[in-house]
Chains A and B, each alone.
Chain A
Amino acid sequence: SQTIHQWPATLVQPVGSPLSLECTVEGTSNPNLYWYRQAAGRGLQLLFYSVGIGQISSEVPQNLSASRPQDRQFILSSKKLLLSDSGFYLCAWSVGRQPQHFGDGTRLSIL
């Protein structure tokens, strides 16, 4: 069966520090991969999606970047975090037009 792993679960970082969040999927090949951000009590905002290795589409201009070095690995990064980068980050995968499956998220707090 397919599983998705996202880590770390929580992260506290100072302003200006770098960021790397990792997401891996098991049990499927060539999935679509997604990074979302959820502000407290709000819906999800799509940040990046990828349909294949090295293929990244950005939905909103921001301080973050994404990379897909392997078929089932999706990384969210920043060189210098801002206070506004705080939030709950969710990774998801899908195949074709099937529903998306989400990881358990990373709660990022910027101090």
Chain B
Amino acid sequence: SQQGEEDPQALSIQEGENATMNCSYKTSINNLQWYRQNSGRGLVHLILIRSNEREKHSGRLRVTLDTSKKSSSLLITASRAADTASYFCATGGTGANNLFFGTGTRLTVIP
């Protein structure tokens, strides 16, 4: 399967702390994307990192990609209660723009 797997499945932290989520995948990729999903809503794209990139930043988000280990991490710094959501990694193959989603990490930020 090309699906990614996030780790941990659930994470609970205090507001202001950093949150780190990991994603592992199995096949060669063109890019890896992270999405966020608030409860009962659609997914919102956060950041895309290409296979030839190792690190990318966007605001309080930092994503790393290690293609040799087929893994990625998403770091949210100085977390806020509004960051409470599920976070998914999705891998894009070398062919059509189909994405393969992991099972997600449910992040709870306690005020």
Q: Which residues of A line the B interface, CB within 8 A? A: 6, 32, 34, 36, 41-44, 46, 49, 51, 59, 88, 90, 92, 94, 96-105, 107
Contact = CB atoms under 8 A, between A and B. Distances in A.
A94 B97 contact: yes
Nearest to A32: B97
Given A49-B96, A51-B96, A97-B30, A43 B44 contact: no
Given A44-B101, A46-B100, A94-B97, A103 B45 contact: no
Nearest to A99: B45
A101 B99 contact: no
B25 interface: no
Interface stretch (B35-43, B55-63, B65-73, B74-82): B35-43
Contacts, number: 54
B73 to A, nearest CB: 18
Interface of B: 3, 30-31, 33, 40-45, 48, 88, 92, 96-104, 106
B101 A43 contact: yes
Given A97-B30, A97-B92, A107-B40, A46 B45 contact: no
Contacts of A51: 96
A105 B102 contact: no
Contacts of B30: 97
